[in-house]
Structure 1
Amino acid sequence: MKAIIIGCGPMGQAAAIEMLRDKDLEEVSILDVDSSKLEAAKSKLKDERLKTTQMNVEKTEELMKIVSKYDCAIIALPHKLVVKVDETCIDAGVNTVDLAYEPEQLELNGRAEDRGVMLIPGCGVAPGLSNILARYGSYRMSKVDAIKIRVGGIPLNPKPPLDYGLFFSLESVINEYTRPARIIMDGRMMHVPALSGLEIIEVPELGTLECFYTDGLSTLPHTMGNVREMWEKTIRWPGHAEKMMTLRELGFFEKTGVKIGELEVKPVDLTIKMLKEKLKEEEDVIVLIVEVIGYMGDVYVEAKYKLIDYYDRELKVTAMGRTTGYTAALIAKMIMKGKVRGKGVIPPENLLTKEGIEELFKELWNRGIRIDEEVVYKKTSW
């Protein structure tokens, strides 16, 4: 078995670490445009089965020739690149697990079916593990009434002014803060502004945090949308949302160019450049809390799942990388070993059986990623 990882950022490298744990894999290849990242990965991972290729993924024909040699592809790229790369992997006849979700991926279903391969979109921690937990919670009840997801990667030791760090693509972060969020309220789909719905929560392990609406439900409205309420909120240290809202309202996230003398600059490009210079890759913690609420007959059921994971100092892997990259790689290995079969675009919440989900949880547990479950049953009056 041979696998290729497209993208050599923190998530791609974490996926490579997980793939290389499996002695059945003959080769794990990482492909990226940045040769320095590839050299760093080779130096860090030190495994003769690891191969690297330096190239631009937008060279479609060349990419297809490379990808076609592998049994499975993991895509760990910025959102703006993923749909075209997904198309290329499908056309190459390769099962594909993508960390990112974009609505256009759903349009590739017929293409993937025709090629007899799977595309698993949004298959990281959130979206991804959050969706899988929503599905797992639904097995505790006959009718789901609400799905509430709170999730975020934050610095373990926050520093002003933003109390944030470089954990994944800043382009993706800014998209989260600007794109209207899809939520379901009173059984009706609606769009609300990102950063709205601010809520203060207490997490005993970390203290006081805040969370706010972002568009992170990915495929859940399509697969589990027959509910009264469904939403995702992003977790941050208190005060972060107000600062981001200020930057947004002042136009720092705008993609339309503005003239400065003879030079035209997109404010968002300048903002990303400045943030990359000021923010650092540092030790992080990720918090994922999923609540699934419903009924089993006349019994009210609330299933709550909590995952808190920390930076791995030994392997120097972020919590975001562990929960995202390891999850994607474990699912990719299940596909390669024939434990998961299918074709077309398959959301992560529809991919695994209950037993398959429990196998995934067990593998994550073996890597120190613990998911705690609490289920409450209450007899109703009707």
Structure 2
Amino acid sequence: MAQSSKNIAVLGAGQIGAVIAGMLAEQGHKVTLADASDAQLGLSVGRIFATKVVDAGDLAALRAFLKEQEIVVSACPYFLNRGIAQIAAETGTHYFDLTEDVATTAYIKDLAAGADVMFAPQCGLAPGFICVLGAEMASRFDSVKTIKMRVGALPLYPTNALRYNVTWSIDGLINEYCNPCEIVFDGKPIAVPALEGVEGVMIDGVAYEAFNTSGGLGTLTETLAGKVRDMSYKTLRYPGHAEIMKLLLQGLGLADDRETMRRILNRAAPFTHKDVVVIFVTGIGERNGRMEEDSIVLRYDGRPELGAIQLTTAAGCVAMVELFLAGKLPAKGFVRQEDASLSDFLSTREGSRLAREARSSETGDFAARFASKRAA
């Protein structure tokens, strides 16, 4: 997909933002990575994009910065995204973010209703790529009974009591462990508590537990309303993790003291590049007059230079930017992740990378298998 060069701002120079900036710069765009911390930006010295000190919480400074940008990608904590989206609307800057926060997405949806630019929140992995896969799974049946989506971003070698290492935003992690979770049950959208619904899952010989977390379904509850009887999203972790997190957040009340919880996770679950991302989507429905089950199982392994969660989140976001620039998404207003078909998603540079680098228990290459299924 040939694209003209754009001025693109990436806000947030953390583990994901810097990777997004690099991917976009490699495609020929004029990218500026901005962060409130000059020290954090210093970690990106020598990259092929510019850097600039901008505090995303300072709306006046942000307004001056975004006036020069055609697209902004927020890789900031979710609580900054309302202000960023508001300024994007004022400056006529197309907007993407990585938020899992349901309330923030609802605010952006209302903001987008009367805007002349495009707003695509919830890019990345979950929500993000998983929503594209979930919509694809629903499309494989004449009528859909059940869709289950399970995603885990995990250390390859768990060594601490939590059996977990933080590989993305600590604020986002705490948020999804605390807020109500949307599912579809018996045809109706309902809210269920986070950290509940624990179930055992065995994937490729590895035992995991899965439990409710907030935001992973994105807007699929709306998109598939009336089309699926039961649909859920759960996070995959190694067994025992949910019980410890319930003790900390609920038993000790740290859901109401997130700063203390943040310090605990910083100390107890340090960042690692030796991580793995597991994606497991199953669907049950009627096809050609009989009930059938289908599945998508993908795994990504981190490398020293690029963690698995960095790859999947950044590539999922950049693929949506590519689709927008190629005219495959609405030019303005609110955009859902599932507005992108899986075939279009995989045709982008970064989407095709996700297909190539996936390991799967199913035989053959993911992209090739998908193409053959669609042809059939």
Q: Which moved more, 1:357-366 or 1:272-281?
A: 357-366
CA offsets per residue over residues 276-332 of structure 1, 9 Å max, x none? Answer: 12321112111111123322352324331122111122xx22111100011101221
Which of 7, 10, 34 does residue 31 from structure 1 map onto?
34
Higher relative contact order (CA 8 A, sep 6+): 1
CA offsets per residue over residues 121-159 of structure 1, 9 Å max, x none? Answer: 111100011100011122222222222111111111101
Counterpart position of 2:195:
195
- Would the aligned equivalents of 1:252 and 1:268 in 2 still touch at CA under 8 Å? no
RMSD: 2.3
SS in 2 for 1:189: strand
| Distance in 2, Cα, partners of 1:121 & 1:91 | 17
> Are 1:277 and 2:275 matched, yes or no?
no
Letter of the aligned partner of 2:275 in structure 1? D
Distance 1:312 1:75, change over 3 A: same
Count of residue correspondences: 355
Which of 272, 282, 294 does residue 285 from structure 2 map onto?
294
| Distance in 1, Cα, partners of 2:176 & 2:351 | 31
Which of 2, 10, 22 does residue 5 from structure 1 map onto?
10
By how many angstroms is 1:169 displaced?
A: 1.7
| Distance in 1, Cα, partners of 2:243 & 2:295 | 28
Distance 1:297 1:347, change over 3 A: same
| Distance in 2, Cα, partners of 1:185 & 1:110 | 26
SS in 2 for 1:41: coil
Distance 1:104 1:165, change over 3 A: closer
SS in 2 for 1:10: coil
Q: Which runs of 5+ in 2 are unaligned?
A: 1-5
- Would the aligned equivalents of 1:71 and 1:336 in 2 still touch at CA under 8 Å? no
SS in 1 for 2:232: strand
Counterpart position of 2:3:
none
Counterpart position of 2:45:
42
| Distance in 2, Cα, partners of 1:369 & 1:16 | 22
SS in 1 for 2:231: strand
By how many angstroms is 1:14 displaced?
A: 1.6
Distance 1:370 1:116, change over 3 A: farther
- Would the aligned equivalents of 2:320 and 2:345 in 1 still touch at CA under 8 Å? no
Distance 1:152 1:354, change over 3 A: closer
Counterpart position of 2:222:
222
- Would the aligned equivalents of 1:110 and 1:344 in 2 still touch at CA under 8 Å? no
Counterpart position of 1:119:
119
Q: Which runs of 5+ in 1 are unaligned?
A: 256-266, 378-382
Matches within 5 A, 1:244-323: 244-255=245-256, 267-282=257-272, 283-313=274-304, 316-323=305-312
SS in 2 for 1:42: coil
State the TM-score, normalizing by the size of structure 2.
Answer: 0.87
| Distance in 2, Cα, partners of 1:29 & 1:124 | 19
CA offsets per residue over residues 228-286 of structure 1, 9 Å max, x none? Answer: 1011111111111111111123234232xxxxxxxxxxx32122113212321112111
Distance 1:333 1:277, change over 3 A: same
Counterpart position of 1:356:
344
| Distance in 1, Cα, partners of 2:166 & 2:108 | 31
